[in-house]
């Protein structure tokens, strides 16, 4: 009998129109407490810069408050965009978190900028020229620092002290392209694929599983797939609630950044664009709890994944909470899990 599908949360800290980034971050803490109570496996914070839609530029800062507010759920980055940072600083940040919260900390590592070219340049410390595209070297250096495996001849061989040791975060590689799958397989890392960015990733996940080197870090490949999903009491209501995120994403693709719009405004926008309210988007799995469960199980099967990381954006925070409650019930997440003290 196959193991039950694991369910987790990726929180992009959406900002509803008329609210503030602080409001959005407080919603993140509230949702994290709920996910912990419901039995979700992990709670990841995304990294996005310089936009009114999402208030999460610093997952490493939010992880601490989220871990403090919860008890059993794993907490981590989904992910840290490594090209912006020094591998040593990332290793130190997550070592601090691992030292405080033990084996509950995940370090999801990504390559994408999470922003526009101007903001990417502004994030650089040295602006005399564009930063080099040396992600594989950065990644190898970060893992060597975390694992205290820097070879003797390396220029940083003397860097051997991290504050959280012996606790170490669980490293994941995030991706939406074939190249990220190759790196994850060669390095023996668990791999999380962003289906909400690229819906054609099933073959990429299969390549990762086929190429995986079991002699490096893990005995077998571990695959998670991140999907946009929203559950409500009825299919019509679920798709109605997705209108807000669909409008925001449509505007983003046109280069116009907006906060999460109210549902009625978004419905009017979709109507003006000739988009159907129900369906019309492979990128979103929406409907009743049973419909969403079936959809997520299908995606997981296509990817050979044993874990689905659910991304949900709504204008109303209560609707987002309710969606995760309904999914927890549909998947039976609370069954067999110890209650927090």
Question: What residue ranges do the domains of the chain occupy?
Answer: 6-231+284-331
H or E element that contains 74: strand 74-81
Cβ proximity of 107 and 217 under 8 Å: no
Q: Determine the Cα–Cα distance for residues 123 and 299; give it in Å rounded to an integer.
A: 35
Cβ proximity of 186 and 211 under 8 Å: yes
Q: Which residues pair with 286 in a beta bridge?
A: 230
pLDDT values of the chain reduced to their tens digit, one per residue, 341 residues: 467 899 999 999 999 999 999 999 999 999 999 999 999 999 999 999 999 999 999 999 999 999 999 999 999 999 999 999 999 999 999 999 999 999 999 999 999 988 888 888 888 888 888 888 899 999 999 999 999 888 777 778 777 789 999 999 999 999 999 999 999 999 999 999 999 999 999 999 999 999 999 989 999 999 999 999 999 999 999 999 999 999 999 999 998 999 999 999 999 999 999 888 887 666 799 999 999 999 999 999 999 999 999 999 999 999 999 999 999 999 999 754 444 33
DSSP 10: E
Say what the pTM is: 0.94
The CATH code of the domain at 6-231+284-331 is: 3.20.20.30
């Amino acid at each position: 009998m196959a193991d039950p599908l694991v369910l987790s949360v990726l929180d992009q800290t959406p900002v509803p129109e008329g609210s503030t980034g602080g409001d959005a971050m407080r919603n993140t803490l509230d949702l994290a407490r709920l996910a912990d109570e419901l039995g979700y496996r992990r709670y990841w914070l995304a990294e996005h810069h310089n936009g009114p839609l999402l208030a999460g530029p610093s997952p490493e800062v939010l992880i601490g408050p989220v871990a403090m507010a919860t008890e059993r759920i794993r907490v981590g980055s989904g992910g840290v965009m490594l090209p912006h940072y020094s591998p040593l600083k990332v290793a130190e940040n997550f070592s601090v978190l691992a030292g405080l919260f033990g084996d509950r900390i995940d370090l999801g590592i990504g390559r994408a900028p999470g922003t526009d070219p101007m903001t990417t340049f502004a994030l650089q410390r040295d602006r005399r020229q564009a930063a080099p595209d040396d992600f594989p070297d950065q990644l190898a250096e970060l893992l060597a620092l975390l694992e205290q495996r820097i070879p003797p001849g390396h220029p940083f061989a003397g860097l051997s002290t991290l504050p959280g040791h012996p606790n170490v975060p669980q490293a994941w590689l995030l991706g939406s392209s074939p190249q990220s799958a190759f790196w994850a397989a060669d390095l023996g890392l668990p791999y999380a694929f962003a289906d909400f960015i690229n819906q054609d990733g099933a073959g990429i996940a299969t390549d990762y599983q086929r190429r995986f080197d079991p002699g490096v870090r893990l005995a077998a490949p571990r695959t998670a797939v991140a999907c946009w999903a929203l559950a409500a009491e009825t299919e019509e209501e679920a798709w109605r609630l997705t209108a807000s995120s669909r409008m925001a994403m449509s505007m983003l693709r046109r280069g116009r950044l907006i906060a999460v719009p109210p549902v009625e405004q978004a419905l009017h926008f979709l109507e003006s664009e000739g988009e159907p309210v129900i369906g019309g988007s492979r990128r979103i799995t929406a409907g009743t709890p049973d419909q969403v469960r079936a959809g997520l199980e299908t995606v997981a099967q296509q990817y050979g994944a044993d874990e689905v990381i659910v991304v949900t954006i709504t204008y109303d925070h209560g609707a987002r909470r309710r969606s995760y409650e309904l999914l927890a019930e549909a998947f039976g997440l609370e069954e067999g899990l110890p209650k927090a003290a």
